[in-house]
Amino acid sequence: MDGVLLLEDGSQFRGRLRLPAADARGPWLGEVVFNTSMTGYQEILTDPSYAGQIIVLTHPQTGNYGVSAGHDESARSWAAGFVTVESWDAPSHWTSRESLPDFLSRHQVPALEGCDTRALTRVLRRSGPLRGALVPLPRGGLAPDDLETLLARLAAWRMPRDLVRRVTLGAPTAVSRGEGTINVALLDFGAKRGIVRRLEERGARVSILPAGTPARDVDQLHPDAVLLSNGPGDPADCAGYLPAVRRLAARYPILGICLGHQLLALAFGARTARLPFGHRGANHTVRDLRSGRLLVTSHNHGFTVLEDSLPPHLEVTYRHLHDHSIEGLRHRYWPAWGVQFHPEASPGPQDAACVFDDFLAQVAGNRRLVTAC
């Protein structure tokens, strides 16, 4: 079926629309963002941080190696839509169990193929993330009245502010994973399974809790450390979680990843803001300011911590090599760290896995409650 991605500025990008269901009519609205990864579409589509977003892949061929068991980063796809140049129906890989189009259909994700993603990405780089709608395209194109109606809907649409509540763990109590000797309490703001895997590989027992878990309930697990996970949306919408984050940071070694990093910064008094067009890809280089080492890292975020808002007790530890934005922070007096990139990758290079090694080494060497200064 012919289809179109309509942006809020009136731009139209045509292609072939794969409907998520036989009787689906749309439109499907979301925030349109682009990702520069060459592989990892399965992990990208199942990353809860993409909730509410229409994902544009800049790499021209998608689906070549199919979909494999064990590569999902969550139980479902949270994407509002998917846009690519070409999506293969007949993948070639010995681990493939399903084609990408079948995967998208099973997860009810509308997909537009044959789109000029280079032109679309140039629009997004110039304007930043835009609201967009995936709609079937009738013969002769969109009628003026239909176009006006769709643009009005886009103008009124806003990204939901409760995305973390939608994607977090549904169980009311902790779900334990692993049998290691270090007990890490993971607050799930939209956690990728790769984070849990990396902790388990390093001898940690992971207790996964819903994002809104009170600090006193975390205390009952007697964790050796706390990890704040990645997640979707604007960190400013997560103010309700900050009192628990502050209390936990005063009592335990704590690591924040992506959204978790931003929440940790907010809890310590910093501010966040939207980046011009975000960092989404598997080839972003960051510099470790302590060692000078360069790490090629996986990214998926649209917001950053503002440097001019940092209180004296926060120190920048990593910096993006291209736009010099903050990629890591640490507290000068408490054992609290945050990284904006994804050390678990999934997808992406493994350069930054040392973040988990450093964190757990610090925890193993100091198994006690940290008293507030």
Q: Which residues contact 203 (CB under 8 A, 6 or more apart)?
A: 180, 181, 182, 360
What is the 8-class DSSP label of residue 129? S
The one-letter code for the residue type at 97 is R
Residue 16 β-bridge partners: 2, 113
Taking the C-alpha atoms of residue 78 and residue 171, their distance in angstroms, rounded to an integer, is 18
Stretch (H or E) spanning 110: none
Taking the C-alpha atoms of residue 113 and residue 289, their distance in angstroms, rounded to an integer, is 42
Strands 61-62 and 204-210: unpaired
Residue with tokens 């509540």: 165
- Residue 373 designated active-site: no
Catalytic residue among 8, 43, 327, 344: 344
Taking the C-alpha atoms of residue 140 and residue 26, their distance in angstroms, rounded to an integer, is 18
ω before 347 within 30° of 0 (cis)?
yes
Taking the C-alpha atoms of residue 170 and residue 187, their distance in angstroms, rounded to an integer, is 12
Residue with tokens 């070409």: 86
What is the 8-class DSSP label of residue 146? H
C-beta of residue 108 within 8 angstroms of C-beta of residue 21: yes
C-beta of residue 48 within 8 angstroms of C-beta of residue 231: yes
Catalytic residue among 279, 301, 320, 342: 342
Nearest Cα to Cα of residue 212 among 170, 241, 175: 241
Residue 136 β-bridge partners: 3
- Residue 344 designated active-site: yes
Phi–psi pair at 362, nearest 5 degrees? -65, -40
ω before 349 within 30° of 0 (cis)?
no
The one-letter code for the residue type at 150 is L
Catalytic residue among 238, 258, 279, 327: 258
Taking the C-alpha atoms of residue 202 and residue 170, their distance in angstroms, rounded to an integer, is 26
Instruction: Please give the positions annotated as active site.
Output: 258, 342, 344
